[in-house]
Structure 1
Amino acid sequence: MVEITVDGTPGHPISPLIYGVNFGTTETLKDLRIPINRSGGDSASAYNWRIDARNAGKDWYYESLSCDPKAINDQFGPRFISLTRKGKAQPMISLSMLGWQAKLGPNRARLASFAITKYGPQQDNDAVGMFDAGNGFKPDGTPITDNDPHDAQTPSDVQSEQERLRHLVKQFGANGVPYVILDNEPSLWQLIHRDVNPTGLHADEIASRVIAYSKAVKAVSPKTQVVAPEEWGWHGYHYSGFDQQYAITHGMDHTPDREGITAGMDYVPWLLTQWKAAGHPIDVFSLHFYPQEGEYSDSDKPEVERARNRSTRDLWDPTYKDPTWINSVVALIPMMRQWVNQYYYPGTPIALTEYNWGGEHHMNGATAQADILGIFGREGLDIATRWGDLAPDMTVYKAIKLYRNYDDHGGAFGDISLVAHTPDPDEVSAFAARRKADGAVTLVVINKRLDAPAHVRISLTNLPDQGKVQVWRLADNALTHEPDTRYSEGVITATLPQQSILLLVLPREKKANVKRS
């Protein structure tokens, strides 16, 4: 029997913006009641708003290609804002700071940064879309370094992106662009966009670019919230792009920027000190995070599923040392909060604008997603937008629906956090909250076990000692409404099948005795 305790004493508010996504369709936004929708990623760095084209960078043979008006992941401009607003969500768009943007050939033809006809045979090429587009490496693995960046891209600057924002504000109004992200994972540009940015940027270059672009944003749209730095992961939190590139050959000891620019400070905290010295250029502090044991895949191998079960601790647990190459305690949300409180302005909103634990078509992915959303609420994250496709047949889609619209009538997990405790969150985790609108208490219990049910005993304190229980269950990729039950003496018992999620809703009753702790 797994003993779970829930304390009904009201805690902190849960931000609704933690239930965000990237590139959500209007239909997805409506069905999941998604509050915020992000347009970002690698292609956003080289998006040319004047011709509606993007350069895919390393993700797809460094090709510049026309954006498909029917493809949701190709929406970086006005179409994205329109479809997002139709879904009753807030758009979060990315501005480019890369300094280069896609260009197209005659009749909007694709262009290649490493054309085989110009630079010779290469290790790989786009055999399905543009045969001439190589991957930028010679057959022996040597990188091509003498390419002309003008082959497939054209220079851009802060004035061009300011003009882009001006057009959007004119079209959608002063409140039509609530969030602007300043590019995407800049400390990886020397890898993702090496056709135009072969050398990693120094820490002070990123600091100054953010300040300049923020000023341009505020000059056009003072109410728009500026979001940065959008760094990619553990090394991106601690080392500049220049230092990461240097370390490939020379190792992490004595990296030039850390010794010569940041005076020994980690890269991202140092950025915060520079931005604070410049005034208040960013309004939301944002990072990305992906687990590193193969979780970000659709694998259902037991070792990967066990990694998914435990690695959500990276988001919160100061006693959990990540066993991968990270080899350190991450405790991401507390770390982000500590960084803004110490190095920037206390209380600055913190955002995780890309994350994904994989397993989208397996119940293990659903239990991980449900665990993550519960952690976000409990730990006080302000904004989160999940990366990756979503479709109604996916298990993770249904896990999100359990939190946001479990009954197809707006039924949702509560917005005032309550304390829920379980003995081993790698096996069974639980999250509780009260809804302000109707006073109902909501409890999510997650059985992460791969091959065994979980018998749970939930003890309630500072809550009614008896009452009605509404039950929803996600198991075997089916979200079902189970028969209502009742509980008494402040105790609820239930059995969860292996890899399943249980949502219990305790409606507020007019007269009830409250069991005190």
Structure 2
Amino acid sequence: MSAGRHPINPFIYGVAHATRAQLEDLNATVNRWGGNAASRYNWRLNAANRGADYFYESLAYPSAQPGGQVDAFIQGTLAADAEPLITIPILGWVANLGPDRSRMCSYSIARYGAQQGRDPYYPDAGDGVLVSGKDVTNDPRDANVAVDARFQKGWVEHLRQTWGTAARGGVRHYIMDNEPSLWHQTHRDVRPRGATMRELRDMFLAHAAAVKDAEPDALILGPEEWGWSGYFYSGHDHQYAPQTDYTRYPDREANGGWDYLPWLLNQLRAHERTTGRRLLDVFTVHYYPQGGEFSGNTSQRMQLRRNRSTRSLWDPGYVDETWINDTVMLVPRLKDWVRTWYPGTKVGLTEYNWGAEAHINGATTQADLLGIFGREGLDYATRWETPATSTPTYKAMKLYRNYDGRKSTFGDVSVACSVPEPDHLSAFAAQRTRDGALTVMVVNKVLTGSTPLTLNLSGFHPGGRAQVWQLTAANTITLLRDVPVAAGAVHTLVPGQSVTLFIIPPGQAPHR
């Protein structure tokens, strides 16, 4: 078991916006406060603008207490013995409110005229597109207020005063905003022009410095880019390139032809060399499969695509089957970028989702993803969002962290495990430090029929029988009969579309 041996970072078992009950039941390690609305959170008013997600409206949270919504989130997270990941807005505008905490909108129909869409519950709020098809040019102050890094430093000081220092159990992880190369779309009422590489770098540095001024032990995560093209092109180039049929990328050209995220890593490293201060601790991005997987589609064709597309996270021989049409190899790629351009930085995937949450295909895919994260050495991962507790996808996550309801977990030290055809069946192995047990998670992806399984154990002296826990389309985590371990192997059958966890205890070492 010496091959491929490395610790699994427990922070890969993260979720977003989970309740205390969900965190405790999943035994989750981190809980992300993020998403589009987090980019426009005004901590003093306890309000957020929803941007393009909901008619660019600034809406109050129930409490008028400064920071109240996030404080409640932190309270529940810490009570569940998880760590909160808090998004700090850096784009320069946050929500404003009207009298008596009333909502405000960026594209008032009364002010700017009839628009193609409107909020049925607040008819003055339009979608910012005139009936003619032309975008509204609005005043960003209609529903928002301009802020800077000092404003956000005040929030971190509030969090430190409320929850204690990071070193003493307070908030430790701070995320620098959300998907900045899409601001000109998601937040076009305040940022109609795509951010350049240099603009994003300067905003990132100013706000990360403000966070660490207020909380010296803070860990900074970012830049939280949305997906494949967001890794290579800035918001400015996202906005400009379509006008040239994707033949010109002026921001990239102005910065020596660099790919966007490697350029940013190099710039942040240069800043540390100049100032002696590290302002990025975890290099984080988002990733969604682009072939329709992130949906409720469970046709046979889509289920098979889900089974294959997780290979985009690791496989150097897999060319993504969508418009990406490239070898993504996401986790090794991120680690290589960090190793090349900013050594010592951890890597994370702080937003991902492969869909089919209520179907066993979504569960087998989620189990595959968590196994890949551990095997490939990812440092952080948070699923968007937390699956409903009744779903098989939720239970697939629970198999890794609380399969027996007593917080028993998959192993914490990854060891090598190989299979002949990962599109049909994948497997992941890890040794558990606390008791030496070898844990093996087997994900059978085939849509029908049982699969004969042989687990050949090398370099591990097993006990006589293995405990078996299993999730199938019946949507229950079930303890099965123990299976024998004989001659260093386990022989059994696993049903189609199932996730099976084998716990193999260590035996007594033979006398020499």
**TM-score band (shorter)?**
over 0.9
Q: 1:312 aligns with which of 310, 328, 331?
A: 310
Preserved CA contact (<8 Å) 1:39 1:76: no
Query: Residue 215 of structure 1 aligns with which residue?
Result: 209
For 2:113, the equivalent position in structure 1 comes to: 120
Partner of 1:153: 144
| Structure 1 residue 465 displacement after superposition | 5.8
Query: 1:97 matched to which residue of 2?
Result: 90
Q: Where does residue 401 of structure 2 map in the other structure?
A: 404
Q: Does the Cα contact within 8 Å between 2:56 and 2:189 map onto a contact in 1? A: yes
Deviation at 1:8, TM superposition (A): 6.3
- Counterparts of 1:269 and 1:337 in 2: how far apart (Å)? 11
Instruction: Look up the SS of the partner of 1:442 in the other structure.
Output: strand
Q: Secondary structure at the match of 2:372?
A: helix
Letter in 1 for 2:297: S
In the other structure, the counterpart of 1:4 is none
Q: Match of 2:46? A: 52
Give the counterpart letter for 1:154 in structure 2: V
Deviates more, 1:166-175 or 1:505-514: 505-514
Deviations 1:371-397 (A, max 9, x none): 000000000000111111322201111
Kindly indicate whether the alpha-carbon contact (under 8 Å) linking 2:105 and 2:142 is maintained by their aligned counterparts in 1.
Answer: yes
Give the superposition deviation at 1:142.
2.2
Mark the runs of 5 or more structure 2 residues left unpaired by the alignment: 273-277
Q: What's the offset of the Cα at 1:68?
A: 4.3
CA deviations over 1:333-372 (Å, ceiling 9, x no partner): 111011111111x231101100111111000000000000
Q: TM-score, normalised by structure 2?
A: 0.95
The aligned counterpart of 2:320 is 322
Within the candidate set 202, 205, 214, 2:199 is matched to 205
**Equivalent residue, structure 2, for 1:365:** 362
**Cα distance in 2, alignment partners of residues 51 and 266 from structure 1:** 38
Any idea what the Cα deviations from partners look like across 1:180-205, whole Å, max 9, x if unmatched? Answer: 11110111000000001000011000
Contact 1:42/1:192, CA 8 A, preserved across alignment:
yes
| Deviations 1:53-106, CA, capped at 9 Å, x for gaps | 00000011111101246xxxx985211211110111011101111111101112
1:81 aligns with 2:84: no
1:459 maps to: 456
2-side partners of 1:503 and 1:48: how far apart? 44
Question: What's the CA shift for 1:173?
Answer: 1.1
SS for the counterpart of 1:452 is: coil
3-state SS in 2 of match to 1:461? coil
Q: Is 1:375 matched up with 2:372?
A: yes
Aligned to 1:501: 499
Q: Compared with structure 1, are the counterparts of its residues 405 and 482 closer, same or farther at alpha carbon in structure 2 (3 Å cutoff)?
A: same
Amino acid at match of 2:90: M
Instruction: Provide the rounded CA distance (Å) in 2 between the counterparts of 1:451 and 1:115.
Output: 54
The letter for the 2-side match of 1:168 is: L
Contact 2:462 2:507 in 1 (8 A): no
Match of residue 132, structure 1, among 124, 128, 134: 124
* Amino acid paired to 1:451: T
Aligned mates of 1:321, 1:347 — CA distance in 2:
29
- Aligned partner (choices 214, 221, 227) of residue 227 of structure 1: 221
- Please name the residue that 2:390 is paired with: 393
TM-score normalised by length of structure 1: 0.94
* Aligned equivalent of 1:184: 178
- Equivalent residue of 2:302, what SS? helix
The SS at the match of 2:160 is helix
Deviation of 1:10 (Å): 6.8
In the TM superposition, residue 231 of structure 1 has moved relative to its aligned partner by: 0.5
Secondary structure at the counterpart of residue 386 of structure 1: coil
Aligned match of 1:270: 263
Greater relative contact order, per chain length (Cα 8 Å cut-off, separation 6+) = 1
Match of 2:163 in 1: 172
RMSD: 1.7
Match of 2:275 in 1: none
Q: CA deviation at 1:281?
A: 1.4
Q: Distance in 1 between matches of 2:373 and 2:400?
A: 12
Deviation for aligned residue 1:122: 1.4
Find the residue that maps to 2:7 and give its secondary structure.
coil
User: Per-residue displacement from partner, 1:27-78 (whole Å, max 9, x unpaired)?
Assistant: 1111111111110110011000001000000011111101246xxxx98521
DSSP-derived class of the 1:326 partner: coil
Residues 158-194 of structure 1: CA deviation (Å, up to 9, x unaligned): 1100011111111111111111111101110000000
Q: Measure the CA separation in 2 of the matches of 1:19 and 1:325.
A: 29
Q: Which moved more, 1:398-407 or 1:314-323?
A: 314-323
Are positions 1:432 and 2:429 aligned together?
yes
Contact preservation (8 Å) 1:471, 1:502: yes
Which of residues 478, 481, 486 in structure 1 aligns to 2:479?
Answer: 481
Amino acid at match of 1:486: P
Query: Counterpart of 1:160 in structure 2: which amino acid?
Result: F
Q: Cα distance, 1:324 vs. partner?
A: 0.7
Distance 2:68 2:330 in 1: 29
The one-letter amino acid of 1:301's match is S
SS at match of 2:500: strand
Check whether the contact 1:473–1:502 (CA below 8 A) recurs between aligned residues: yes
Indicate if the aligned counterparts of 2:463 and 2:507 stay in contact, CA closer than 8 A.
no
Aligned partners of 2:352 and 2:69: how far apart in 1?
A: 19
Deviation at 1:9, TM superposition (A): 5.0
**Whole-Å separation in 1 of the counterparts to 2:395 and 2:68:** 24
Contact 1:465/1:491 (<8 A) preserved: no
Greater shift in the superposed pair: 251-260 or 43-52: 251-260
Q: Secondary structure at the match of 1:489?
A: coil
CA contact (8 A) 1:59 1:192 kept: yes
Q: 1:25 is matched with which residue: 19, 42, 64?
A: 19
- Unaligned runs of at least 5 residues, structure 1: 1-6
Q: Percent identity between the aligned chains? A: 46
Checking the alignment, whether the CA contact within 8 Å between 1:370 and 1:399 is kept in structure 2 is yes
Residues 180/325 of structure 1: CA separation in 2 closer, same or farther (3 Å cut): same
Q: Answer yes or no: is the 8 Å Cα contact 1:466–1:512 preserved in 2.
A: no
Alignment CA distance shift 1:15-1:142 (3 Å): same
Matched position secondary structure for 1:504: strand
Q: Does the CA-based 8 Å contact 2:462-2:506 persist in structure 1?
A: no
Could you say what secondary structure the match of 2:382 adopts? strand
Q: Distance in 2 between matches of 1:396 and 1:465?
A: 31
